Amino acid sequence: MGGIGFLIPLLAFAFVIVTSIIKILKEYERGVIFTLGRVGRKAAGPGLILLIPIIQNMRKVDMRTLVHDVPTQDVISQDNVSVKVNAVIYYRVVDAVRAVVQVENYMAATSQLAQTTLRSVLGKHDLDEMLQERDKLNKDIQEILDTQTEAWGIKVSNVEIKHVDVDQSMIRAIARQAEAERERRSKVILAEGEFQAAAKLSEAAQVLATSPGAMELRYLNSLQDIAGDRTNTIVFPFSMNDLANRLRS
């Protein structure tokens, strides 16, 4: 029994030593190895990694694309409209060594940077642009984030604005504005139609003025239209003989 009691602690110690020496990294993992506090130029893995106990230690880094929800941010647009905006970002580690050495917590740092960038970029645009030009805004935010996280070994591949929530009172104001815009366009179209009609009438008057015969024919045509209603009494200001003479002339 005494030998068994001594063997158990020995096996436990051996297990600790083995687990500290042998590390296995999955295909999507890389290991940043520190030797007496100094880091190598490249990350290790995937596969079997052997470490020197006490002298070396390793930190794992997930190299897969990570999805992060940006918490809802209060944004004041350029036209002084208060909105609530949230988004989602897609990023991954491309350099495990820099992700560990250059920043304390690359996930938290990327999240905080995404929040401030979201507020900064959207605050430079009007509400209409936020609602209608999301693709452009997504690209602008993604480019800024990608540039600033490059030093951390992070690649931001995509940014998507999910919701732009506007206060109910502002929604009613926007609806009134849209109604006013539709009415304005309707009046402009009507005015353009009247202008074109007036231009055509002016052209017709010039043609009739240069041809007396055409004017008389137009007069007869108008009389024919009036004669369609039997309740009307037609008074000719001149005789039919005079009209015939004018047409012959």
Residues 43, 91 within the same domain: no
CA-CA distance, 119 to 71, in Å (whole number)? 11
Average pLDDT over residues 43-71: 91
pLDDT score recorded for residue 219: 60
Residues 245, 193 within the same domain: no
Residues 72, 140 within the same domain: yes
User: According to the 3-state scheme, what is the secondary structure of 31-65?
Assistant: EEEEECCEECCCCECCEEEECCCCCEEEEEEECCC
Give all strands (DSSP E) within the chain, no chain letters: 22-25, 29-35, 38-39, 47-50, 56-62, 66-76, 82-93, 154-166
Residues 153, 84 within the same domain: yes
- Flag whether 126 is in a domain: yes
Residues 148, 200 within the same domain: no
pLDDT tens sequence across 95-126 = 999 999 999 999 999 999 999 999 999 989 88
- Flag whether 150 is in a domain: yes
pLDDT tens sequence across 157-204 = 999 999 888 876 666 666 677 677 778 888 888 888 888 877 777 776
Residues 31, 97 within the same domain: no
- Flag whether 2 is in a domain: no
| Structure tokens given for 195 | 């202008």
Residues 134, 206 within the same domain: no
Residues 12, 92 within the same domain: no
Task: Give the residue numbers spanning the domain of 194.
Answer: 174-210
Instruction: Say if CB 46 and CB 30 are below 8 A apart.
Output: yes
Nearest to 166 by CA among 39, 79, 59: 79
Residues 179, 206 within the same domain: yes
pLDDT tens sequence across 203-236 = 766 766 676 665 566 665 665 666 665 655 656 5
Residues 73, 137 within the same domain: yes
State the number of CA atoms in the 13 A half-sphere of 143 facing the CB: 7
Please give the model's pTM, rounded to 2 decimal places. 0.64
Residues 112, 85 within the same domain: yes
